[in-house]
Amino acid sequence: MQKYDYLNRLVNTGCVAVVRGNDADEAVKTVDAVIAGGVTGIELTFTVPHADKALDELSEKYADRDDVLIGAGTVLDPATARLAIIAGAKFIVSPSFNADVAKICNLYSIPYTPGCFTPTEIQTALEAGVDLVKVFPGSVAGPAMVKALHGPFPQLAIMPTGGVSLDNLETWFDAGVTLVGAGSNLTAAAKTGDYAGVTETAKKYRAKLDEIKASK
């Protein structure tokens, strides 16, 4: 089933890079730099102007790479979700839960990962067919919340986003997350056009992720 194929590939990346940018060109260059460093889960946000064009370009460019999975982020409504899916997005991420976005994603057999912060929001998302929940903002929630959530929701797959860094990567995985989302801590060098710097940071993330995986 397509949805679970994409979901498994997403989980296997270990880390989703949240990519923003002032324009589509900057976003595409940032994505290329992140992938070159070995971080192959990509969430291209719809705060990027002409994000659908960037998605389309990246989806074609990496079509032959099974280890690369490109999705769309900051998807707030079903119209944006459909636009992203048509442009090639293999998963959809939102900062909050939206029932209509969940329906669109289910219709097209695409994983939907909404931002949730309370047990009520998480239960609502699970009832709507969500398989992976984004605990957001991770910087506020903290790893302790992940452990607490696994009490009432033992099967819950969690991707914290916001506040994930090289320094706390291991702490998140020890708390029981399925994978992580990393934004500015990973891509900051792109703001000054230092794409080589982005690749170097991504390599550090990849090395740390591999080290964590090997120790499990």
DSSP annotation of 188 reads G
DSSP-H helix ranges across the chain? 2-13, 24-36, 51-61, 78-86, 99-107, 119-127, 138-141, 143-149, 169-175, 184-187, 195-215
Among candidate residues 3, 26, 90, 134, the one labeled active-site is 134
Among candidate residues 3, 26, 43, 90, the one labeled active-site is 43
Active site residue 121: no
Say if residues 7 and 28 touch (Cβ distance below 8 Å): no
Active site residue 43: yes
Question: Partners of 134 in the beta sheet?
Answer: 115
Measured CA to CA, the distance from residue 32 to residue 17 in angstroms comes to: 11
Active site members: 43, 134
